[in-house]
Amino acid sequence: MLLQFYKYQGTGNDFIMIDNRQQIFPKNDTKLIERLCDRKFGIGADGLILLELSDLHDFTMIYHNADGKVGSMCGNGGRCTVAFAEQLGIIENKTVFDAFDGLHEASIKDAVVSLKMSDVTSVETFDNHLFLNTGSPHHITYVDNITKTDVYGVGKNIRYGAPYFEEGSNVNFVEQQNGNTFKVRTYERGVEDETLSCGTGVTAVALASHKSNKTKDTTIRLETQGGTLEVSFETDGEGYKNIYLKGEATLVFKGQIEI
């Protein structure tokens, strides 16, 4: 069977996008998904996203990690799915869609997607890190020199260690540049490596930086290895609401592959 696919990227976080409204893709075949995401033997991507029909909204986004397993919410993947839906003619400049963690609103203009993330009710603060869930779990550590940080080695140890163990957590390393700008590098579970960018990760970093009083701004600039993202939000008691992740999402190429 020849599979039509599209490759999208959002600040270097890249995804295989498949129009699965007709349920043509064998999504229970995790080995196939893992092979398609393989950068040597497949198309190559951080994850695979299926765009499917929704009973009540514009579409449903189903995200698979590069290991083939169904993942939790992916922020950059969500932005790319919005751009993909626009390209397919499903939406124009605004949308509401279903995802792993519920409904998301988004808008798109000139390839820049602003995605509303789920509300965050609390941020856990510890001696050397913070933890919160922005649709996916995130461990956050601030460092003095992010360039010299062993993101893979340290990130992998934290991801599999207590209290996360097999379920795991994404691990973010952060260096503050100025009042509202932070550099971020992320070890992503499911990919099991550092990625060039992580949307739920930079969202978590923005909220954690505000919670820990590193900034009083509510619009934060996040610099990743794949580009710059913006996160804005409002405080809501101990948590945060009206959280938006904003940045470019673009088509890289499209093609066919035998499956």
Looking at the structure, tell me whether residues 187 and 145 fall in a common domain: yes
Once rounded to an integer, what is the mean pLDDT over residues 146-168?
93
Rounded to whole angstroms, what are the CA distances from 164 to 86, 138, 194, 199, 203? 37, 10, 18, 20, 20
Amino acid at 247: G
Tell me the catalytic residues.
74, 198
pLDDT in tens, 182-194: 999 999 998 999 9
The answer to whether the CB of 220 falls within 8 A of the CB of 96 is no
Looking at the structure, tell me whether residues 206 and 147 fall in a common domain: yes
pLDDT in tens, 54-103: 999 999 999 999 999 999 999 999 999 999 999 999 999 999 999 999 99
Looking at the structure, tell me whether residues 197 and 90 fall in a common domain: no
Once rounded to an integer, what is the mean pLDDT over residues 204-208?
98
Looking at the structure, tell me whether residues 81 and 172 fall in a common domain: no
Joined tokens for residue 215? 């900034």
Looking at the structure, tell me whether residues 112 and 128 fall in a common domain: no
Looking at the structure, tell me whether residues 132 and 223 fall in a common domain: yes
Q: To which H or E segment does residue 244 belong?
A: strand 239-248
195: Cβ contacts below 8 Å, ≥ 6 apart: 12, 13, 46, 186, 188, 226
* CATH assignment at residue 232: 3.10.310.10
pLDDT band at 167 (very low <50, low <70, confident <90, very high): confident
The answer on pLDDT for 233 being more than 90 is yes
Looking at the structure, tell me whether residues 238 and 253 fall in a common domain: no
Q: Which domain holds residue 194?
A: 124-243
**pLDDT for res 25:** 97
The answer to whether the CB of 191 falls within 8 A of the CB of 66 is yes
Give the chain's domain count. Answer: 2
pLDDT in tens, 30-56: 999 999 999 999 999 999 999 999 999
Looking at the structure, tell me whether residues 146 and 101 fall in a common domain: no
Looking at the structure, tell me whether residues 140 and 223 fall in a common domain: yes
